[in-house]
A and B are shown apart, each in its own frame.
Chain A
Amino acid sequence: MHLFFRLILLVTLCGCCLLPAGGCGGPEPEKEPVHLVYRLKWLYNISVIGDLYAEEKGFFARQGLQVDIKPGGPERDAIKELEIGRSQFGVASADQVIRAVAKGSPIVVLAQLFQANPLQWIYRQGKQPIQSPADLRHRIIGITYGGNDETIFRALMAKYQIRKDELTLFGVRYDYTPFYQRKVDLWPVYRNAEGIIISDKLKKGGEKVNFFNPDTFGIRFVANSVITTRQMIQNHPQTVRKFIHALIKGWQQALDPVNADSALTMMARFDKDTPAALLRQQLMTTRALMIPPAGKNFGWINAPAWKQSADIMLAQKLIPAPVRTDDILILEKIGGKI
């Protein structure tokens, strides 16, 4: 019995020591984390130049933060990593955020990186130009079934009353061959990344291309935004402020034409496959898509566009119930202007 009580005492003592707060020592304030993981949405390409620039130029370090910027990819989801606790910050598109929030995920948006969605459709300039959505009729349109381009395109069809039988939808993947072979008229691309590369290839072959941008026709569907968890905001508001401050500064400086050479030299180290000339074009296009309207700071969250994104998803039954987007856009609540 004596041994039994000693065992209980030992277990209790170990339990006290293991409990992070609320143990024998009483509640202690949580330490602000120094080492952070920032999970990007996609692989290293021009769409993450500002994130990398902030790290390379020591903006995070000057805030006392060690940030590990990890590339994303098709099977990587920053939201899931945030919830599991493997990352503290991440990048996700509006559809991912809205879907997650609809399922109870405690995700909040800190900043909106792209002010205009880079997801557009590339097409060859032909005899019949596409000047309005009505001109899409009787064409073959590439969409990624299940992807956000499908959501955007279906919203466009609904808005302009284009019936399914008036055009042909073609399921696409990462291989552009059907577009090169002219089996598909319009192909979804990220305007600032693959858009530049494909148009360059076609221009070399003597073909002129153009881009169809649903944003021009009133379909505002938000793309990449910086996210974190509510828990992070509540427990480590200072860290969040420092992180977002350094990140926004990185983006502003990377997109500043004065720093273009320095930013591109850095980018070339991460994206070795894209020639320097194309990287420069990509940077110019990225800048145009990211710079906020006059009077707004970089990272400005376009609340009406978020609401429209949620409405589109609800209309397409991609979420079961309405999501109050105002509750998840919290840049102003953590200090507003950065």
Chain B
Amino acid sequence: MLHRRISQFFFIYLLALGLLLLFKYIFNLSDYVIPGPLDIHHTATLFFSRYLRDGLNTLSVAVVGHVLAVILATLVAIIGSRGNLIGSLIKTAAYNLQAYPIVAVAPVIFILLGDGLVSRLLIAAMICYFPLLLSFIGILTEPVADIEHFYVITGRMRWQLEVKIRAFENIGKLSTVIAGSATLAMVGTIVAEFIGANAGIGYSLRIALYQSNIAKVLVALFLIGIFNSLYLTLLEGIGYLVLKKLKIQNGVMS
């Protein structure tokens, strides 16, 4: 799985780079506008290890932010899936809050919490939190009639059981949603670093753009792609293992 995803990323990256170089040579653009292969290689040699550390820093924040967002979204979605006033209020608030662009909210977060780790974590969590929440609410409010009917008729249905049934029956969807939001967590962390933080690959990107150094940007983008692929593969792997375990348990039970 990892091999396939990384090779797919390599293919896309090299294709994009090739198109960029084609554009450069067709229009005879200088290395300032689009760096040549030698310039990219030279920059990669000089900055790869530093950007690798920055990328790892970003990835670690993205992972923690993502985990926090998943936990929070699960808790809020359970409350939100109840058909009461609080539930509908949470749902409305989630839809409305999602409409606010993070680039407008981020500066306020940096003012309140400073430009350290907490702000980056919060922004990363915020960016992936709302899509997660909405998906979770959607999944947890959708009845699994075949199974739930029995418990409702026998009067044994409790809200905890309802959540368990719906989560179990939609475990594939949940796993896909969680893996999909990993990219958002990565994007959120990079955006946070770009806007106001003082560490990470987003911060390095910001400096590279200040210096109009596109070669550095390309190196950073390469590493972001690699780290993103790694994280996605990890999540997909976990999802696969969970599904496999559940299927085995199911098989044993039946």
Contacts and interface: CB of A to CB of B under 8 A. Distances in A.
* Most A C-beta atoms less than 10 A away, residue of B30, B32, B196, B198: B32
Interface in B90-129: 107, 110-111, 115
B216 to A, nearest CB: 10
B29 A84 contact: yes
Nearest to B210: A146
Contacts of A175: 107, 110-111, 196
Given A146-B206, A171-B198, A175-B111, A106 B211 contact: no
Interface string B27-71: 101111101000100000000000000000000000000000000
Interface stretch (A73-81, A235-243, A276-284): A73-81
Interface in A51-106: 74-75, 77, 79-80, 83-85, 96, 99-100, 102-106
A100 to B, nearest CB: 4
Contacts of B212: 77, 79-80, 96, 99-100
A103 B111 contact: no
B32 A145 contact: no
B208 interface: yes
Given A171-B198, A173-B195, A175-B111, A103 B209 contact: no
B196 to A, nearest CB: 6
B47 to A, nearest CB: 13
B33 A80 contact: yes
B119 to A, nearest CB: 12
Interface residues of A, number: 26
Contacts of B32: 79-80, 83, 99-100, 102-105
A147 interface: yes
B109 to A, nearest CB: 11
A102 B31 CA distance: 9
A182 to B, nearest CB: 15
Nearest to A104: B30
A173 B211 contact: no
B248 interface: no
Contacts of A102: 32
27 contacts: A74-B209, A75-B209, A77-B212, A79-B32, A80-B33, A80-B212, A83-B27, A83-B30, A83-B32, A84-B29, A84-B33, A85-B27, A99-B32, A99-B212, A100-B32, A102-B32, A103-B39, A104-B30, A104-B32, A106-B30, A145-B210, A147-B210, A173-B195, A174-B107, A175-B110, A177-B111, A318-B211
